[in-house]
Amino acid sequence: MINNERDFEDIIKLIIIGNEGVGKSNFLYRFVEGEFCPVHKITVGFDFKSKICYIPKLKKKVKFQIWDTAGTEKYLSININLFQRVQGIILMYDIGDKKSFDDLEKWMEIVKELGNGIPLILIGNKIDRDLKNERKISKEKGEEFASNNNITFFESSGKNGINVEESFICLGEKIIKNNFSYGKGEKRYIISKDKTCNNNIKKKKCC
């Protein structure tokens, strides 16, 4: 993990989606700050954080730029616009909230409509609920949903830090290996190498 170096090779832009209350903000806060925030305000519209991180398998240092989205219908139109700016998606549900799992189909419809084959991983969050016997969705159900949709699956805990960094690293690997990034007017995806972090997307010949 790298927190204080400014140099990096690629920019990877991600969005975290899922119902309100599944733990998206704390999951992101844990990744960026390395801590759990017990009191967290509900996200209004979207929030944004970034972090430079090393991907060991690819021997690359990248800058993750991550949008944390509100999970309510009220802000859905705002969140949809963000799909045009990202290279990867984290779809999240709460293992103690059956509705958040049932609504994955709704989120997948949005992803399939707007994502254009964008890399995606599924997160069953709040596995710390197991300690309180609050689990409603078994790990097997999460694995089945992921398998049926051909996506990678993790169970995680933003509170305890379980599989948080691993999830981002995994998605980063998928994006870089497939040379994914959104370019204006294009149907394919190319990793951005613009270190000024502006809106210009630079093409590269090889990843």
The pTM of this model reads 0.79
What pLDDT, in 10s, does the model give residues 37-86? 765 555 444 678 999 999 999 998 999 999 988 655 544 555 566 777 78
* CB 204, CB 194: distance < 8 Å: no
Let me know the angle formed at the C-alpha of 67 by 1 and 136, rounded to the nearest 5 degrees: 85
Residue with tokens 């609504």: 103
- Helices (runs of H) and strands (runs of E) counted in the chain: 6, 6
What pLDDT, in 10s, does the model give residues 148-206? 999 999 999 999 999 999 999 999 999 998 775 444 333 334 444 444 333 333 333 33
Quote the tokens at residue 104.
């994955």
Walk me through the domains of the chain, giving residue ranges and CATH numbers: 10-177 (3.40.50.300)
Q: Where are the alpha helices (DSSP H) in the chain?
A: 24-33, 76-82, 98-102, 104-114, 139-148, 164-177
pLDDT of residue 201: 31
HSE (CB half, 13 Å, CA atoms) of 33?
A: 12
What pLDDT, in 10s, does the model give residues 100-141? 999 999 999 888 887 667 899 999 999 999 988 999 999 999
Confidence band, pLDDT 50/70/90 cuts, at residue 4: very low
pLDDT of residue 70: 65
Separation of alpha carbons 22 and 71, rounded Å = 9
